[in-house]
Structure formats: C-alpha cells, structure tokens
Structure 1
Amino acid sequence: MTNQMNIRVLRSYVGGFAWPTLALAVGTWSVFGAACYATLVGVLPPLALLLVATVCNLYSFTVFHEAAHENIEGKGRGGWLTAAIGAVAGVMFMAPFAAVRRIHLTHHQHTNDPANDPDHWVATKNPVMLLLRCATIYPRYLYCYLVKIDRPRTELMKEIVILLGLWITAVAALSTPWADVSLYGFMMPSFLGMGFTAFFLDWLPHHPHQETSPVSNTRNFPSRFLSVILVGHNVHGVHHLNPRIPFYRCQRAYDAATAPLAPSDRQTLKSA
C-alpha cells in the first residue's frame, strides 16, 4: 500500500459533528470552574487549584486544537460554534484564539523548518535547554506572532486587544478576593500548560526535528492506553498527514492505515 493509499484510508475518518470534543470541552471547563469556585470559597487550596487548572489546561488545548483545524462541526468549515469553543479554550491558557491558531497552522506548513516553524524553539537534545525552551514557549509564540508570522493587520490589532484584556484583567484581579483564582487558576497554568504541551506535542513527536516531509516529520507511539491519556496525540503522525481527523479517531485511523502494510512499509509509516 502506498502513502497515497494510506492518506486515502485516513480520509474516511474525517467528518461528522464532534460530540466527543464537545463533551471534552464541557467536562474540562466544568471541572476547572468547580475548582476555581472551591478555591474562591476557601475549600480548595491554591496549590491544588494550580494542579487541577494545569491538567484542565492541557485537555482544553486539545479542544482548542480541534477548533483550530475546524474539526468540530463536520466536514465543512467551522462556524460560530467553532469560534466560540476556540475562544473559550483560549481564555484558559490566556491567549486569543485566532493568534494561536495562526501560529499552529504555521507549524503545520513549516514543520521542523528552523527558520519558519514556531515549534522549532524546543528542538534540542540538551535536557536543561529543553526544560528552559518549554518553559518559555508562551513568550516565544508571542514573539513569532508579533514579528515573524504574516497576518492581516486588522487581525493583529484585534488579537493584541484581546491579549491585553486577558492579562490586564488577570493582574487587576490580584488585588481582589479573586487573587488566588487569577494567579493559580489562570496565570501560572497558562505557562505550565503550554510548557507541557510544548513537550508532548512539539518536542516528543517531532524529535530530532530534522525531517520536513509530512510522511516522516512526526513520530507515532501507537497504544490504546496512551490514546486515552494523550487524547489521540500519541499517533501525532496521523494528525500531520490529515489534520481534519478528530482526536478521538486518530488511533483507529492509524490502525486502519497500517494494518494492510508489509512489515517494511509499516515501519515507514510508523516513523511518519
């Protein structure tokens, strides 16, 4: 089976309203909201909120990711629901939807290109540098969007206003009873969540960051268990071959695309 044939198999997993994505969004945001309220009334310690909010941040990124690729409302382009879900998901990691979407799509267009891939920031073999790069991915993305990536001026101005609004609100809340919620529920998790996301989605599947072809620029880690824990990102190569496949079908799509292959060809796709 050729790579073209594999891609054709993958296409059959595109489409349909993404009810699991909507459920993930509602579930994640409900847990996050409950944790924030519990901290506000003194039931949940701030550090516990930080842990819960960071985990929710990670799963909310998957919701944002699906909205960015317009995978929520079926085969057509995303409408108001996609935009709304993406915007709410973006609030959790303190970043405007359109800006992060453009950054992510630029990554798809220039995967592993040192000059143009925003995620190439984490391309290193040094563990200490990897930790530092993941920890600073938020300001790196901000720099890429403001300086390196082409985007309409109207979009830029709108996203700057949203970004400033988010952070001004969060900082202002530090002098109110909402201080712990702002710091431990939004500000710190936005950096921690993006840092963990940078490791699991930017470094791990693309290391050693040398290949640029869609069939070889991403690694897969096929596993039913990992598929649940990492919500489909364990077979990130499937996503890069066809970004319109929703996260909850990626493992099945991988299995279908690789099952008929000869061992040598199967290994080729596994490394894709």
Structure 2
Amino acid sequence: MDTIRQPGYADEAFTADVEAEVAGLALRGGDDLDKHTRVDLLKQERAIAKEFHSGRMWPYVVAAWGGFALWVSLFPLTMLGIVPLWLACIVACVLATGGYVTSHEAMHSNIARPNTKYRWVNEWVGKVSTIPIVFPFSMARLMHLEHHYHCNDPEKDPDYTDEAPSAAWAWYKTWYNRQPGVDGSIHHYKRILAGMGTPEAKKALKDTLLLQLFFMATLFTLAWNGYALVAAAVWWLPRHVGLSYIRFYLSWAPHHPREGNTSRYDTTRIFKSRLGHTMSMGMETHLIHHLYPGIPNHRTKEAYFALKPILQKRGVDCSAL
C-alpha cells in the first residue's frame, strides 16, 4: 500500500505562495532581508520540506475505513445491549473527531493524486470519514481548500467565523455558530459557495442537503422505534462533540489571532497545547501544513523541527516549541 502515496508540490496554495516569494515580495520576516536572501532561504526550506513528503499513507486508509465500520457497528451493538451506551458514545465521539484527520489528508490528495491508480481510495477515505459529523466530503474539501487560498480573509475564509478573543469564548462559539438563526459557519459557507457559482459548489450544497436529510431521517426512525438514546449516543451527541473539538483545534487554536495575518508565515501560529500534540490533532505545528500541504499530518511535527532554524530567520515566533 506504500505506492498509494504520491509525493509532490501540487497544491495551488503552496504554488501561489512560492511564486509570490520568488517575485521578491516581502512576506513576514523579510522586511530586513534582501531578495536574494529570501530566495536562498526558500530554496533551503523547500529542500528540507521535500524530505517529509514521502511516507506510508496506508494507516490513514485503515483508520478511515476501519473507524467507519466500527462506528456503524455501534448501532446494532447498542441496540442488542452488547455494548453499553456510555461506552458507545465515547467511542463514537473519538471516531467522529478523528475522522476529520483522515478526510483532511484526502482533501489534499495526499493518499493518491488525481488520475492515479489508487485515486478511488483517496476519495472513499474522504467520503466515509466525514459522515459521522454530517459534513459531506465534497463540501469539506471545497471549503477547506478555500480556507487555504484565502486564509484569515474575513470575507473569503470559510472558517473566519470561528475567531474569538479567548479560548473559552472560542469553545462557546463552536456551539453557538451552529444554532438556528445564527449567522455562523454554515451561512458563511453558503455565501462563499454562492459567490463561487461553480458546478462543484452546487454539488457540495446538494450533497450537504441529502446527508442532513439522511441524518434526520435516521434519528427519527430510531426514536420512533424506541431507540432514541441510541440515536443520541451514537450519532447526535458525537457529531456535536466532534464538530466543537474540530472547530477549536483545527480552526481557532492554530489561527488565532486571525485579523491582519494573511501573509505566508503568519497565517498560523506555533503553540503548545495542554493536551499535547496528538490530542490537539497535530495542530501545534499547523504552520507546516499551510506552507506545505503535501506533508502528511503525522510528519508535520518532525518537519517543523527540521525547518525551525529557517522559520526563525523568516520571523516566525517559535518560542512555544
């Protein structure tokens, strides 16, 4: 399965940044560096980063498909009384949250590039991973790539609605933004999709509607047949827990503060999580992902420490790690 991994620098967001840098734009940390120094640092940076693009991606495939199968099995296992509801709920919360990590690799085609033999594996990893949080892969990928293209732009970044002045407020907003009538994430997504007006955008909206209808129909059917607690413990509550956790750690924590930070080296920050690197889903070194989306999540920390001397020369605050 190692052959599934297709290394490369195909990400458009990365390509655009490199072109801007080579053109001599003074991107953060470059105000006191001449063009030749910046270009030389960039070459060094790319040479080091390239070492981390390769790697085994089959664990993401196993985690995605195995996790989805386990999640589905929780429904009959709880209905038959084989697995207690409290345990099923905990497992489902972990699977709902962790599924975004595997889907994230598929969003960037890190499992298999387009027009390659195993492309279908990449797509199905993405599709099954986001079902527990009721967020179709087509919508998730489109919005995430828009986040990369327009990171921290208040109008164009789909995730800008997660910004908050403090961690406590950010946790609150992960719940508040999903409430009816609130101009939160989904409304911001719809405005961005309407502005795009592409067939992909229309498909993402359609897929979202269909999945949400299936979600509500499933909950209603389970409740109607006396399994309301199963529906709540295995899907409804884990979905909300997963979405809040993802919104906090993948959106607010690495990008705060968002305002004005739109340059290559300041769209994200290096931070130390109280829960550690793994429990924060690898977001402590999320800057590496924005610089090089082709580096898989499990290698960003290693890549960060290899790139740290160069990042410091570019003005990145690396004091946290």
Measure, in 1, the Cα distance between the counterparts of 2:122 and 2:311: 40
Amino acid across the alignment from 2:191 = V
Tell me what 2:31 maps to: none
Measure, in 2, the Cα distance between the counterparts of 1:271 and 1:27: 38
Between structure 1 and structure 2, the one with the greater Rg is: 2
Amino acid across the alignment from 1:230 = S
Measure, in 2, the Cα distance between the counterparts of 1:23 and 1:62: 13
Tell me what 1:243 maps to: 293
Following TM superposition, by how much is the alpha carbon of 1:184 offset from its aligned partner in structure 2, in angstroms? 2.5
CA contact (8 A) 1:14 1:245 kept: yes
Measure, in 2, the Cα distance between the counterparts of 1:128 and 1:264: 30
Q: 3-state DSSP class of the match of 1:209? A: coil
- 1:270 equivalenced with 2:318 (yes/no): yes
CA contact (8 A) 2:96 2:130 kept: no
- 1:142 equivalenced with 2:182 (yes/no): no
CA contact (8 A) 1:205 1:218 kept: yes
- So what's the TM-score if we normalise by structure 1? 0.84
Following TM superposition, by how much is the alpha carbon of 1:81 offset from its aligned partner in structure 2, in angstroms? 1.5
Tell me what 1:73 maps to: 112
Which of 99, 102, 106 lines up with 1:63 in the alignment? 102
Following TM superposition, by how much is the alpha carbon of 1:2 offset from its aligned partner in structure 2, in angstroms? 2.1
C-alpha distance 178-72 of structure 1, shift in aligned 2 (>3 A): farther
CA contact (8 A) 1:103 1:144 kept: no
C-alpha distance 117-13 of structure 1, shift in aligned 2 (>3 A): same
Following TM superposition, by how much is the alpha carbon of 1:229 offset from its aligned partner in structure 2, in angstroms? 3.1
Q: Which runs of 5+ in 1 are unaligned?
A: none
Indicate the percent of aligned positions where both proteins have the same amino acid. Answer: 27
Query: Cα RMSD (Å) of the superposition?
Result: 3.1
CA contact (8 A) 2:113 2:119 kept: no
| Count of residues paired in the alignment | 269
Amino acid across the alignment from 1:43 = I
CA contact (8 A) 2:106 2:126 kept: yes
- Give the stretch that moved more between structures: 236-245 or 203-212: 203-212
CA contact (8 A) 1:112 1:212 kept: yes
Q: Which runs of 5+ in 2 are unaligned?
A: 1-39
Amino acid across the alignment from 1:270 = C
- 1:159 equivalenced with 2:204 (yes/no): yes
Tell me what 1:35 maps to: 74
Following TM superposition, by how much is the alpha carbon of 1:218 offset from its aligned partner in structure 2, in angstroms? 0.9
Alignment of 1:180-259 (within 5 A): 180-210=229-259, 211-221=261-271, 226-258=276-308
Following TM superposition, by how much is the alpha carbon of 1:133 offset from its aligned partner in structure 2, in angstroms? 1.7
